[in-house]
Structure 1
Amino acid sequence: MRLRFYYWGLVIVWHSLLLVAAYFLLHETYYWFMLAQLGLLLSLVFAYRVYRHFRRPLDLISGGKSALQDRDFSVKYRLTGAREVDALVATYNNMIDTLREERTLLQEQHYFLRKLIEASPSGILIMDYDGNITETNPAARQIIGFDPSSSDEEHPLLSAAFDLALGDSLPIIIEGANHYRLEVSAFIDRGFQRKFVQIQTLTGEILAAEKRAYGKVIRMMAHEVNNSIGAINALLDTLTVSEEEIDEQWVIDVRESLPIASKRNHQLNVFMRNFADVVRLPDPQRERIDLSQVLPQIATLFQAQAQQQNTSFRLGYLAGRVPELPLLKSEVGSRKSEMIPPSQFISADSNQLEQVLVNVVKNALESVSQDGEVQLILTERPRQIIIADNGPGLNQEAAAGIFTPFFTSKPNGQGIGLTLVREILTNHDYQFSLATDEDGWTRFIIAL
């Protein structure tokens, strides 16, 4: 308004002065005086057109300002044909399109976030710049029991939430049974930081984890008991004969077998007692043990089971540097165990190492059919214990999941044995592998 007033005031004053000057200078000459008046009229027309030319952008700016003030991003202008004005119109229209798209995107994101917060299973407390709770979601109201944004009631979770600093995480137990975790984060609102607190309910997860842990331990304990008792029962069954079959050799076999069964029962008792003392597998209690005594005892423990299923079970020692895929070169079908040289000492937990060998040898015997063969080999360089069998081998699925907890390919298996084997050998820092090689033999190799 002020610009238009100044402009027309200047035009009127300027043309009035020109008209007065023309009158005093040209009034005696009628022709020139009329010509001067025509020139002034044309000047006024030109001034009006100039006014229209620069007024149009001002009208556009004024209309755009009103639309922006009203947050109306649907108002756009048409091109006028004037280059300068059209440039302004194009810029304004592009700006309006950008603002409309960004506003739509922000509204959609805001709507999505609101829905996400409302549907979140975790409780969420949103605070203002002063740390007061302004918004909550349904999960938070359900956990706390009331809406803290509209109530001054106290609650242990609220007290803990107010005391936490940005980035902190705090587990909290209420009434001895309800487990929660509080985590504090922040977001930027209009250039300033605001905190929000997540309340995660852990009660159900903790109970489920405890149940899984108890179930795993119980199944593992039952599995180990069954493994050892099965081998011991098979050994004892071979000693059950009629009075006519009792001879000197039978007495020798009894004297040799019963101490081994008794020792295995004692070690199994120790193993089970350790599980009762702690939930996890006990750390290995390393001692100096002689493999020349341990391996023959394992062979004797399973010799009866091998005989019952007509399987060749061989125990042997390979001195010097051994081939990549070692096997015992003894007579096929022989059940006589080769001697293990003395003084093969290692540092290990004897109970846990025997438990490993019991599991692996039992699996090897179960994998072979009648007339199959299982070998228990000790190699010198490199020092390894190898349990090999010529059963059907591992298929692709079994090879991928053989050490996965509770994975089993047996109809009545529990998937515990090799999991326990893996944990024991890992705790001993022993490298191990299980694979079916190109020659058709499946080998479990323990690098000592």
Structure 2
Amino acid sequence: MKTEYRLRSYLLFLHGVLLLGTVSLYQQQPLLMLALELLLAASFWLCWRLCRQSLQPLRYTECFQQLLSEQSYNHRLHANSDPQLQSLVQCYNDLLARLQQERLRIGEQQGLLDQLLEASPVAVLVFDFDDRLSLLNASARQLLGLADPLNRPLCDWIDGDATFFPQFSPIEQQRVRSLLPQLQQLLPQQSTLCSDSEGRRFRCQCSQFIDRGFSRRFLLIEELTAELHSSEKSTFDKLVRVIAHEVNNTVAVTGSVLQSVCNYQKQLQADDQQDFAVAIAAVQKRNHSLGQFIDRCSQVVKMPAAEPQPTDLVVLLSDVMYLCRDNAQSRGVQLQWQLPADPVWLLLDPALFSQAILNIVKNALEAAETGLQLQPTRPAKVLLSLVPQPQGWQLSVTDSGDLLRDVEGGQLFTPFFTTKKGGQGIGLVFVREVLQRHGLPYRLASTDDQQSCFEIWFSSLKSS
């Protein structure tokens, strides 16, 4: 210690000068010189001891400062028998003990928080003071697929050169890029529903917390697609059951009355009989169409539970395509399919799944025919392909209609929503229900080459 060194140097210098002063008395008064030298020796010993005792608290303070700088809170200081020093050392030790307990408590809380964040199904994004990403949990990494996201703002992935995980396809990257601008625009304490290009819907909430006196924001992203689909299906089921009960009773009575009214046609004048017959036929046709519409709605509501069994997907798809071949020729659409030569055995309900594929192909044929009417110079075609993937198979039905480019992805599987003239908006609801009962991921969207594609992925775990 510099203070101790200077003080002891001063004592040595002072007593050395006094000692030299007493040497001058050696010849005149030797006894006085001897007494003075003894007195100086006693003074030097006493001052040295007092200096050591007075600087003892400073030594403990330096040790305490070193422990604080090294964050060695588990060490303790030991004092001598001096009561005052013992009180000071006890105060330092109590402070070290409190710091150690606080560090353990914060460490345990941080560990619990980290585990909660990693296990949470809600995606969490935390930003620093400059609005750059500082933390993403596992759900956020899986949802967004941002590569090397730390210390980078979200705008780097919106309009910059930031990259995604290698396993993220260009379509998945496009989906994330459609969601990020909505996240970027969220203000603190704001909550809203967002959707991506595939129609997946999320509840996004922006909040903030105080860090070192300044606010930092974080985002919570919770996917609601399955929950909203379940709510929509429950509402759709209740609505259809109520309407079906009333409409079926009305259609049955109306059909019977119309059939009875036809018996009065011969009682009319000859000039009126033709008009009467045409009017009754139109009403009967409309009555029959209404009954068919209710039947199609009831098929979705009363769909039986899926009964998966080993099914050769290649044979099932081939049967559907041969069934649709004449329909495609009548519409002027070229129907093609590419299937593996070997069987592909999967656990499927053949009745439900073949009906779902039939609806998908039928929609594709109608879209290709509409596209041909809009662009006569462009060939109308539908292609069904089944290709292997690293973890299963991918089924794609692509049509040249390109009628979904301006349609929001979340509307496609909404009951009663349709892009076809005279459509009822029931077919895709049926398809969605079948695929969800099989636990198969799917996607319907426009492609970059001005086509529409319905994709279904079969995991290897679904194989028999």
Mark the structure with the bigger radius of gyration: 1
Instruction: Give the TM-score of the pair, scaled to structure 2.
Output: 0.45
